[in-house]
Amino acid sequence: MFSLDGKVALVTGGSRGIGRAICVALAKAGAKVVINYAGNEAAAAETLDLVRQAGSDGEIARFDVADADAVDQAIQDIAKRNEGLHILVNNAGISLDQLLIRIKPEELERTMAVNVGGALWCSKAAIRLMMRKRYGRVINLSSVVGEGGNKGQAVYAASKAGIIGLTKTLAKEYASRGVTVNCVTPGFIETDMTTALPESVKEQAIAETPLGRMGAPEDVAAAVLFLASDEAGFITGHTLRVNGGMLI
């Protein structure tokens, strides 16, 4: 439907879950996909196979998105090797869920460093390159809980609300340079992040979702593909909900 022929895309946390589905969707549309991951090399290699099966080419790049220097070096190398970087999907994320009264300082620091810091450092390195070419698409993964909150997820929700503020700010800063910045807020999606949850929590989440099911990673990937396309060129600073009606 959308063509990304000739485009190079970097997907952080592309080894598993939603990130993997995004890699495949972008590859099916013709983009060359760089799959970032933190530690799970086998999963990243599996995603690369899927990207190739989808008819495109790709490569794997291991770095911690929370490490500003490593991010800067990796993104410069990626752009040099591939003669550019057109699309950045800030998908890597973690959730260390606790009730407020049990949260430890290191849980706050690591969640913010990965979820907010990761998107910020990757955007900084990528947008610096994109603005020179006067073209870029940045898509950030926020969450329904960043908009609506959720018991037991104070730190995660704060980090995902932060992503919405970051998105709107970067959209304003770089619109004049041809770079659009949008975010997607998924609802309850079936991945490693959610399979670990107790059955009762999943049942409750489905009960709160008018469309009556958990989302698939592909549901989110379709929205990201649209925002990455040329057709979405007049959309920036937007928050696109992919939540089955959980929050309207």
Binding flag, residue 12, ligand NAP (CB under 6 A) = yes
- Backbone φ, ψ for residue 66 (5° rounding): -80, -10
Query: Exactly one of 57, 192, 203, 231 binds ligand NAP (CB under 6 A); which one?
Result: 192
Residue 24 CA to residue 51 CA, distance in Å, equals 5
Query: Exactly one of 61, 74, 88, 114 binds ligand NAP (CB under 6 A); which one?
Result: 114
Binding flag, residue 209, ligand NAP (CB under 6 A) = no
Query: Exactly one of 5, 39, 101, 207 binds ligand NAP (CB under 6 A); which one?
Result: 39
Query: Exactly one of 7, 16, 28, 86 binds ligand NAP (CB under 6 A); which one?
Result: 16
Beta bridge partners of residue 139, listed in sequence order: 89, 182
Binding flag, residue 189, ligand NAP (CB under 6 A) = yes
Query: Exactly one of 8, 24, 66, 183 binds ligand NAP (CB under 6 A); which one?
Result: 66
Find the shortest distance in angstroms from Cβ 93 to ligand NAP.
Answer: 2
Cβ-based nearer residue to ligand NAP, 5 or 199: 199
User: HEC profile for the chain?
Assistant: CCCCCCCEEEECCCCCHHHHHHHHHHHHCCCEEEEEECCCHHHHHHHHHHHHHCCCCEEEEECCCCCHHHHHHHHHHHHHHHCCCCEEEECCCCCCCECHHHCCHHHHHHHHHHHHHHHHHHHHHHHHHHHHHCCEEEEEECCHHHHHCCCCEHHHHHHHHHHHHHHHHHHHHHHHHCEEEEEEEECCECCHHHHCCCHHHHHHHHHCCCCCCCECHHHHHHHHHHHHCHHHCCCCCCEEEECCCCCC
Q: Which two tokens stand for residue 72?
A: 């800067």
Cβ-based nearer residue to ligand NAP, 49 or 230: 49
* Beta carbons of 18 and 44 less than 8 angstroms apart: no
Query: Is 135 a known active-site residue?
Result: no
Binding flag, residue 68, ligand NAP (CB under 6 A) = no
Query: Exactly one of 19, 58, 117, 162 binds ligand NAP (CB under 6 A); which one?
Result: 19
Cβ-based nearer residue to ligand NAP, 131 or 206: 206
Cβ-based nearer residue to ligand NAP, 147 or 173: 147
Cβ-based nearer residue to ligand NAP, 31 or 144: 144
Find the shortest distance in angstroms from Cβ 121 to ligand NAP.
Answer: 10
Binding site for ligand NAP (CB under 6 A): 12-13, 15-19, 36-40, 43, 64-66, 91-94, 114, 141, 143, 186, 188-189, 191-194
Which residues are known catalytic residues?
A: 156
